[in-house]
A and B are shown apart, each in its own frame.
Chain A
């Protein structure tokens, strides 16, 4: 049977709607994961009970299969009276697990910050919150944003599991179309392309963020281009000015 994409035309609307739903649930899930990762990453660095709690959370969510978490949220919680629809269950599940994986990345980014930089902010009198928001997180994210990108790409891939809780995202939709048309080759080729496109979009976004966070930072004094030997010329000028 030759590859014949035209068999998809009558189902294209459905498939694209599924892809769009995947994009939506992933975008919201990634946003939730990002916020949670930042918050947990900051907390996990601490030595107090909050730090222990954050690290416990990370261990729990990384050691339970994603599909089990999804089932627990969607089929388990209603037993105790908590109903969340399939879409928001998906966002929540992606956010919870992405936050767990991402927090470890943020945490290592924070631990890599030169302590003196934070000390300078403390001595300057900045509040704890201002130090986290303006010093710690921006510096940590410079290095953490790329590995965070891998976590987010994985979230897009994991989102296919949400078809198991009745969400009409692109994998579930494709399976339906495949069984309807008996053209699994073309349908799943579309699915491949859809996920490749979505994850590529995530990568592009991460690249842009990385560039933005690291502008003018490629050289931390070690790179060529900053020639330290050139400084004395400037220095003499300055000394002349101050003499």
Chain B
């Protein structure tokens, strides 16, 4: 379980996260919604140890991410997909995927290679194993980013606005893959996912729970159906305002669930 307890994060005088608490249990698909600057990405970056905390505590299966040794262990349990892909530009697609499993998890090369190729095939990139990131489109790069994260066999998958840098068509191709991933083990003990996204309709379809961040505070944490219910999340004026602004951008009807 990922447990976020009263986390405070400041950048200078600006408080980005102001006492945020949240849990993600194995198998859950939790979406973090909120406007830009509400602290969503920072929260993800605190969980994977890219930011240090100014208060509170984050544990991943009991491992405290503030402690360097425990963070190293925790990073074997979770994997992150980034908004800007962050692929290693000097390595082939295959190497991008196999590097960490080989070096960090010490798994045999042949096994990791096989898994990487299978993952690439599952996202429609079987022919791209020997290409370099610079030779791929944005959507293809993000699909590689997803494969790279999945090759770590993570218990927790952190997704930080993974479609924000993509045009609608590429967004659709990436969401299709994530949708498949999320519904593979509905409520089971599979990979838990923590999404930061602006794709409200998508979040509605795949999430088990939705939390809403506003100016660094977590103001709502509800099961998905209650979040969109008139007497649930929608009762909150800030959320109603947010959703009314987001509604027009939903080119997702044609995506297979």
Contact = CB atoms under 8 A, between A and B. Distances in A.
A242 B256 contact: yes
Interface in A130-158: 130, 134-135, 138-139, 142
Interface stretch (A46-54, A66-74, A116-124, A161-169): A116-124
Given A116-B84, A123-B50, A242 B170 contact: no
A235 B169 contact: yes
Interface stretch (A31-39, A175-183, A213-221): A213-221
Contacts of B140: 231, 234-235
A64 interface: no
B228 interface: no
B79 interface: yes
Given A120-B86, A242-B256, A126 B100 contact: yes
A135 B140 CA distance: 21
A120 B103 contact: no
A219 B135 contact: yes
Interface string B78-91: 01101010111110
Interface in A181-207: none
A159 to B, nearest CB: 32
Contacts of B72: 125
Nearest to B48: A123
Given A221-B134, A228-B137, A232-B169, A120 B124 contact: no
Interface residues of A, number: 37
A219 to B, nearest CB: 5
Given A226-B134, A238-B124, A238-B125, A139 B89 contact: yes
Contacts of B136: 221, 226
A135 B82 contact: no
Contact of A242 (B99, B122, B132): B122
Contacts of A219: 134-135
Contact of A119 (B82, B137, B180): B82
The secondary structure that dominates the A interface is: helix
Interface residues of B, number: 45
A207 B172 CA distance: 42
Contact of A130 (B86, B103, B105): B103
A234 B88 contact: no
A80 interface: no
A198 B49 CA distance: 49
A239 B138 contact: no
Contacts of A235: 124, 137, 139-140, 169-170, 172-173
A126 B170 CA distance: 30
Given A130-B103, A231-B170, A239-B173, A220 B134 contact: yes
B86 A217 contact: no
Given A217-B134, A238-B125, A124 B86 contact: no
A219 B80 CA distance: 26
A237 interface: yes
B44 to A, nearest CB: 10
Nearest to B80: A123
B173 A124 contact: no
Nearest to B145: A120
Given A216-B134, A220-B134, A231-B137, A241 B90 contact: no
Given A142-B90, A216-B131, 9 more contacts: A116-B82, A117-B87, A117-B88, A119-B82, A120-B87, A138-B90, A213-B90, A237-B124, A242-B180
The 4 closest A-B pairs by CB, nearest first: A238-B124, A231-B137, A124-B100, A116-B86
11 contacts: A119-B50, A123-B49, A125-B100, A125-B104, A138-B90, A139-B90, A221-B136, A231-B140, A231-B169, A235-B139, A242-B123
